[in-house]
Amino acid sequence: MKNNNVFFWSLVVALGGFLFGFDTAVISGAEQAIQKLWGLDSVKHGFTISVALIGTVFGAMFGGIPSDKLGRRQTLIWIAVLYFVSALGAAVTSNWVLFMVFRFLGGLGVGASSVTAPLYISEIAPAAKRGQMVAMFQFNIVFGILIAYLSNYLLAGTGQNDWRWMLGVQAVPAAAFFGLLFLVPESPRWLIGQGRVEEGRAVLHRIDSTSADELVTTILTTNTDDQTKGGASLLAPQYRMPVLLAVLFAVFNQVSGINAIIYYAPRIFKETGLGAESALLSSAGLGLINLIFTLLARQIIDHFGRRKLMFVGSVGLIITLALVSWAYATHSFQAFGGMLVPGLLFVYIAFFAFSQGAVIWVFISEIFPNSVRAKGQALGSSTHWVMAALISFAFVPLSEKMGGALTFGLFSAMMVLQLLFVWRLMPETKGTSLEQMDKTLVLH
């Protein structure tokens, strides 16, 4: 197997994850300046911050369509264009409505990227290494988050318009992503599904010449069986289990509170006693912990499997969120030099990165058969982003009305339900080929 080819293609496509993470987190350094600039109340402010997530919902919901029609690679090229236009536009506009339009376009890129990039990587990676390869996408997401936090910290205080530089710098990696995609071939499974069998076979030979012909035969057989049993509709009865798993997994990912914490980390840290500069620096610390534990999970996900990581992570999330809730309830913010809540959220991020963060895009990209994989990935991603938009939009007004204790307590309770989901419903998918997964999860 020519691992170098697969690694390079996966790395390039995973740059979409870097832009995904950067775009998601960069607003945290600019959100308070934006609120002040346009005099936004809490509802308008929440909408301004979450409008990118609304775009993400639409990008995820419809991202499977161009992935199926145009191909995985061509869709990724258009995603790179969206990232570039969004970054420059949001940085230079002085109009609130136009700002939201450009952030919405960036959200479209994030949503479509969350469908297409894991989809592409899962379709080129060998079964034994698929977890590591697809988790590279998540690693790049958290790397993008870290770089956004660091960039915000370095640019903060450089001038009245420092927030514009925070948002605009994203155009540089977006341009690099666009150029590098022309060095990546189309997904062989998509090519074969389009009847371009010899083109798909040629790509598979570049991956592993010894098994390429056998895999082409297997893919063709599986595609024919899928078409016979229900076609390419997710509503077909045999796809009930993968649909249920994808939706529940995506919901639990967001009711952990992860996006609210990433978006509003500086605000949370300031509320609990840190100064503005320390709050931004602590946010960068969150990004670093996220990166380290995502890397750790990526290294072991194919050895220990997806379920074990989710068991460990669920327990850790329950405990850390409950302790943050307790800190709010007892006003224990000054403990450990004001670092109690930041410290707990550092541990929270470690458990999240080790479990949900590393597993979600791997798991959802694995559980659907070839004929509906793009649609299934779009379903899982759009569910994820609908929940992200709702929670991000509601977090500030909810925490103002209910208080931090009840808000974080609710997140902790949701993770108890996630633990039950992992225990009772979640199957192990490590080491299973995408075609074998059809026999495991699809009802025949």
Q: Which amino acid is present at 34?
A: I
Q: Which of 121, 186, 173, 171 is nearest to 15 (CA)?
A: 173
- Each residue's pLDDT tens digit, 340-398: 888 898 899 999 999 998 899 889 988 888 778 888 989 998 898 888 878 877 887 88
pLDDT confidence bin for 1, thresholds 50/70/90:
very low
- Each residue's pLDDT tens digit, 81-114: 999 999 999 999 989 999 999 999 999 999 899 8
- Which sequence spans correspond to the domains of the chain? 3-441
User: In a 3-state reduction of DSSP, which class is residue 98?
Assistant: helix
Residue 444 confidence (pLDDT): 44
DSSP class of residue 354 equals: I
Q: Are 389 and 57 in contact (CB under 8 A)?
A: yes
Rounded to whole angstroms, the Cα distance separating 348 from 338 reads 17
- Each residue's pLDDT tens digit, 265-280: 777 777 766 655 565 5
Percent above pLDDT 90 for the chain = 41
CATH superfamily of 3-441: MFS general substrate transporter like domains (1.20.1250.20)
- State the DSSP string of 283-297: HHHHHHHHHHHHHHH
Q: In the predicted model, what is the mean pLDDT of residues 206-235?
A: 76
